[in-house]
Structure 1
């Protein structure tokens, strides 16, 4: 990892925590939709970096959001789970292309990128709301929260991605 990419990762990490805690945790659309845009860190993180460092960073990301949100490590559990599942999700979305040394997320199609981001978001939200509600009697409530929060998170994440992505020239 170069010092420039390390600096960018650290800045994204800190800014996503701050934006999530100071802005998006305060939003509450229709009483139950609370976008979780910090998940985009898992989308932006370089593909070929060390997996153990990535899982540790995702744990720290989740635990920091938990600490500021007072949610008892639910964010950390959901974030570490999708960090662990990320290679499998990538193989599902991009096929064997991720095995090549020169594969970059920006070289894939928009549909593949959106599918990858959407799967990260849905799995995270499914784990998060299942742990938060922790009752099979409320399965419909869990699914409703997952569906609507995922749509809001995806829309805001795509907006952030388009605003802060590096454009090719």
Structure 2
């Protein structure tokens, strides 16, 4: 399948999964998975980050439009996309010549986990900080960030495992 077609399909699939199903799930009353950010993990690594930032903006904007959340998903997603290259270089220790050949499936689990966990925690912390927008609720922000990040990462790795097994 063409890479562009695959990315468009993944964008639409994750967006619809998030807004139609996952936004309606509140585990234990306040834990919500945000699996749409997986698109940012899987977007091809390039030195030119404009395309990633544009797609992250559109993804966050679409989630905000369906969720009526006023731009918090857009800001969180764009910030996550902005720091992704720094996190990538820090965790995987790759050079710019390795970008074209990079695939998360070929990396060790610990590196992939660190990469996804850092980006997820950053995204969720910003998202819940903007949702609460108060230092009085910092414990609520930290609890929501932790539990939603665990739930999101659990769904990501479970889905990754299921689809990896089906493809091989």
Matches within 5 A, 1:11-90: 11-48=9-46, 50-90=48-88
Match of 1:100 in 2: 97
1:102-135 deviation per Cα after TM superposition (whole angstroms, max 9, x unaligned): 3333332111011111111100000000000000
Consecutive unaligned residues in structure 2, runs of 5 or more: none
Whole-Å Cα distance in 1 between the matches of residues 117 and 79 of structure 2? 15
The answer to whether the Cα contact below 8 Å between 2:60 and 2:75 also exists between their aligned partners in 1 is yes
SS in 1 for 2:2: helix
The answer to whether the Cα contact below 8 Å between 1:33 and 1:148 also exists between their aligned partners in 2 is yes
Whole-Å Cα distance in 1 between the matches of residues 47 and 18 of structure 2? 25
The answer to whether the Cα contact below 8 Å between 2:47 and 2:96 also exists between their aligned partners in 1 is no
SS in 2 for 1:31: coil
The answer to whether the Cα contact below 8 Å between 2:72 and 2:131 also exists between their aligned partners in 1 is yes
- After TM superposition, the score normalised by the length of structure 1 is 0.91
Matches within 5 A, 1:101-120: 101=98, 102-120=101-119
Match of 2:2 in 1: 4
Count of residues paired in the alignment: 166
Distance apart, 1:163 and its partner CA: 2.7
- After TM superposition, the score normalised by the length of structure 2 is 0.92
Whole-Å Cα distance in 2 between the matches of residues 167 and 100 of structure 1? 31
Whole-Å Cα distance in 1 between the matches of residues 28 and 40 of structure 2? 27
User: CA 1:87–1:167 in structure 2 vs 1: closer, same or farther (change >3 Å)?
Assistant: farther
Whole-Å Cα distance in 1 between the matches of residues 167 and 109 of structure 2? 15
Match of 1:153 in 2: 152
The answer to whether the Cα contact below 8 Å between 1:90 and 1:98 also exists between their aligned partners in 2 is no
Superposed CA RMSD in Å reads 1.8
The answer to whether the Cα contact below 8 Å between 1:37 and 1:156 also exists between their aligned partners in 2 is yes
Distance apart, 1:148 and its partner CA: 0.5
